[in-house]
Structure 1
């Protein structure tokens, strides 16, 4: 497994991984078009916020991080449960003293994952800050220094 900076040619695979999650998540309203998703992915790739994890077959997951803020973490559905998300998150932890993210309250699997990875709940929101308008939770990992 190799973590590398996301490149524009990874865009089709990143989109497929993202869309596999949105299609398989019945409680998640579809609020953006696929075209809007592609535009958003292009922006974060160009900003250098994307890291991908690859195996011999290609990209199997990605993380989007701007400094201490995690915006997204997605793994190919066929590859979930194999530690790939943990590897991406470990890479992010080596590059930041603290990390924070908003996770949708209804995303129980993600919430459990982040708790296992040392994140703590610090606040709750009513959805005003996310595209879906769903209740969310601010989670923070404080790293070695303990700062958030």
Structure 2
């Protein structure tokens, strides 16, 4: 891999980002596949046109984050690049631009839940999934700049008790 760069999404990135989204859905067996590959690409094209997408590139697109103001609509990393710090780089890029972030992740996505807690997000609300397209229970997480991430996770901050 060459040097990883985080940059704004461009119209020609819709194919790669749509493919990453589709592959992630297929990789999570609990996730219903509601949209075709073509629909995923068209959807990402619209988000790119709105200026919401940042991509992680090292010669090829390894992941992307779609954000509207403080709300993170999507964060996906390509199958072969998961666990390599790309998601962290994308979230840190978003954190550098705003004082607060909010997002939802599915309750079944244990890896994402651990990731957001490590990044300093706190759980704000749970729902039964009635408000999302997939109908899956989800959790709303919030991150606030300046909040002590250790306290946000509920970990001890002092010496032994």
Matched, 1:107 2:109: yes
Indicate the residue corresponding to 2:7 in structure 1.
4
Q: TM-score, normalised by structure 1?
A: 0.93
Aligned-pair CA distance for 1:6: 0.2
Indicate the residue corresponding to 2:158 in structure 1.
none
Indicate the residue corresponding to 1:74 in structure 2.
76
**Which structure: larger Rg?**
2
Query: Higher RCO, 1 or 2 (CA under 8 Å, sep at least 6)?
Result: 1
RMSD between aligned residues: 1.3
39-48 or 60-69: which moved more? 39-48
Question: Does the 8 Å CA contact 2:53/2:65 hold for their aligned counterparts?
Answer: yes
Matched, 1:34 2:65: no
* 1:76-122 deviation digits (Å, cap 9, x = unpaired): 11011111100000000000100000111001000000000000001
How far apart, CA to CA, are the structure 2 residues paired with 1:36 and 1:16? Answer: 10
- The ranges of structure 1 where at least 4 consecutive aligned residues each deviate by more than 4 angstroms after the TM superposition are none
Task: Pick one of 59, 64, 67 that aligns with 2:66.
Answer: 64
How far apart, CA to CA, are the structure 2 residues paired with 1:81 and 1:35? Answer: 27
Task: Pick one of 119, 129, 132 that aligns with 2:131.
Answer: 129
* 1:120-145 deviation digits (Å, cap 9, x = unpaired): 00101111221100000000001127
Q: Which runs of 5+ in 1 are unaligned?
A: none
Matched, 1:50 2:60: no
Q: Which runs of 5+ in 2 are unaligned?
A: 149-161
Q: 1:59 to 1:42 in 2, by over 3 A?
A: same
Question: Does the 8 Å CA contact 1:97/1:145 hold for their aligned counterparts?
Answer: no
Aligned positions of 1:137-148 closer than 5 A: 137-144=139-146
How far apart, CA to CA, are the structure 2 residues paired with 1:78 and 1:94? Answer: 26
